[in-house]
Amino acid sequence: MTDLTLKAWFAAQERPARAGDRARLAGVTVIGLAILLVVVSLFSLTTGASGSSGWAVIESWFGLVDKSDPAVLREQVIIYDIRLPRLVLGILIGAGLAVSGVVMQGLFRNPLADPGLVGVSAGAGLGAVVIIVLGGTIAAPLVALLGIYTLPLAAFGGGLATTLTLYRVSTSRGQTAVATMLLAGIAIGALAGAVTGVLVYLANDQQLRDLTFWGLGSLAGATWLKIAAAGPIIAVAIGATFFLSKGLNALTLGEATANHLGVPVQRFKNIAIAAVAAATGASVAVSGGIGFVGIVVPHLLRLVIGPDHRFLLPASALLGASFLLTADAISRVIVAPAELPIGIVTASVGGPFFLWILLRRRDRLAW
């Protein structure tokens, strides 16, 4: 047996062990991220500009304080009506944006794909702005028909149309060109921005204030009603992405190979695009433009647990939720008693991280 053959034999013996080690590491990471989310959730629930710690509410559960005490009643209002809806919405949106980034990167087979960078968020935002500005005039019949679901469904429609357009433009013969995808995303985002600008020009003063704050992204308007409208859409989209893991793994080998492995490629892509559009659109509708979650979180996790989507998707959902809750807590306390839009916090972290990715991959991105 030659040296070359021996090396190949030893490599084949070591490969299953390495795969097993990576799977164990990924499993431990997912469990650790679940614990992290619990800790971050408790921190988010007990932190804020009001100074309410939430301990009075916990004590009231065990009958240790007088529930008719005005201070306890105030704490209950802050916890149950303000912070808890904000916590639930932050978990849903953080998880939804993170898994959307993973699915888009797997679908396009490109690590730079992200709903915010390639214009999907801009398209979803345009759908939401149409309802905000025209909901009382020409879109009034639609609002009357769909009720509280009008805004998330409009954002979903905008995100879906943008994603389909992006896919059609940047994909040829089963291959997606990186430069074409990014340039198409810029063009689509600019076009959506232009139409949004026209609608902003037509908006009245109150709508203008709402649009300005909404455009920077925030969880400040979280209510149980908004969660009832957008939460089921985001939750179903996140759940659907977990069933895409094997298909995304197969797609990394190319569409032809994935087809030979039994993946119905076209139907798979349609489901993946619909899931991304639903998660992104509903998130944008209730929180505004929050960028970089879908690119920062998956890349951090790929460095630790690798590209296997069976682990990457749940891990990204957990870390995305923790990341957004942490950013939200920072936005609430850094300029207290005022509040910084959460999109500014995520952009402050995501912008430098994205530049770091570009520097690492600039040779491969040359075109």
pLDDT at 225 over 80: yes
Contact between residue 344 and residue 216 where contact means Cβ atoms under 8 Å apart: yes
Q: How far does CA 129 lie from the centroid of its chain? A: 19
Report the candidate in 134, 278, 123 with the shortest Cα–Cα distance to residue 190.
123
For position 1, what pLDDT does the model report? 44
pLDDT band at residue 217 under the 50/70/90 scheme: confident
For position 356, what pLDDT does the model report? 79
Tell me the range of 1-15, 22-36, 88-102, 174-188 where mean pLDDT is highest. 88-102
Of the chain, the percentage scoring pLDDT greater than 70 comes to 84
| Residue 60 or residue 348, greater confidence | 348
Rounded to whole angstroms, how far apart are CA atoms 202 and 130?
Answer: 11
**Which residue matches tokens 């895409």?**
244
For position 186, what pLDDT does the model report? 82
Q: Across residues 8-27, what is the average pLDDT?
A: 61
For position 62, what pLDDT does the model report? 65
Mean pLDDT value across the chain: 79
Summarize pLDDT for 83-98 with one digit per residue, the tens.
889 999 999 999 999 9
Rounded to whole angstroms, how far apart are CA atoms 41 and 322?
Answer: 8
Q: Would you call the peptide bond into 341 cis, given omega within 30 degrees of 0 as the criterion? A: no
Rounded to whole angstroms, how far apart are CA atoms 17 and 23?
Answer: 10
Q: Across residues 194-207, what is the average pLDDT?
A: 83
The interaxial angle of helices 120-134 and 265-287, nearest 10 deg, is: 50
pLDDT band at residue 65 under the 50/70/90 scheme: low
Contact between residue 29 and residue 305 where contact means Cβ atoms under 8 Å apart: yes
Summarize pLDDT for 169-179 with one digit per residue, the tens.
877 776 666 56
Burial (CB count within 10 angstroms: exposed 0-12, middle 13-18, buried 19+), residue 144: exposed
Summarize pLDDT for 255-293 with one digit per residue, the tens.
788 888 888 887 888 788 888 888 888 888 788 778 788
pLDDT band at residue 13 under the 50/70/90 scheme: very low
For position 290, what pLDDT does the model report? 82
Rounded to whole angstroms, how far apart are CA atoms 109 and 106?
Answer: 5
Strands in the chain per DSSP E:
171-172, 175-176
Across 161-177, b (16+ Cβ under 10 Å) vs e yields bbbebbbebbbeeeebb
| Residue 76 or residue 240, greater confidence | 240
| Residue 280 or residue 113, greater confidence | 280
Type of residue at 21: D
Q: Which two tokens stand for residue 299?
A: 């890349």
For position 52, what pLDDT does the model report? 62
pLDDT at 135 over 50: yes
Rounded to whole angstroms, how far apart are CA atoms 94 and 40?
Answer: 13
pLDDT at 311 over 80: yes
For position 6, what pLDDT does the model report? 43
For position 348, what pLDDT does the model report? 85
User: Residue 125 to residues 105, 160, 164, 277: CA-CA distances in angstroms?
Assistant: 21, 12, 16, 12
Across 292-328, b (16+ Cβ under 10 Å) vs e yields bbbbbbbbebbeebebbbebbbbbbbbbbbbbbbbbb
**Which residue matches tokens 């509280």?**
148
DSSP 172: E
Q: Across residues 243-260, what is the average pLDDT?
A: 85
Q: Which two tokens stand for residue 237?
A: 């989209």
pLDDT band at residue 154 under the 50/70/90 scheme: confident
Rounded to whole angstroms, how far apart are CA atoms 338 and 316?
Answer: 30
| pTM exceeds 0.85 | no
Report the candidate in 90, 154, 161 with the shortest Cα–Cα distance to residue 119.
161
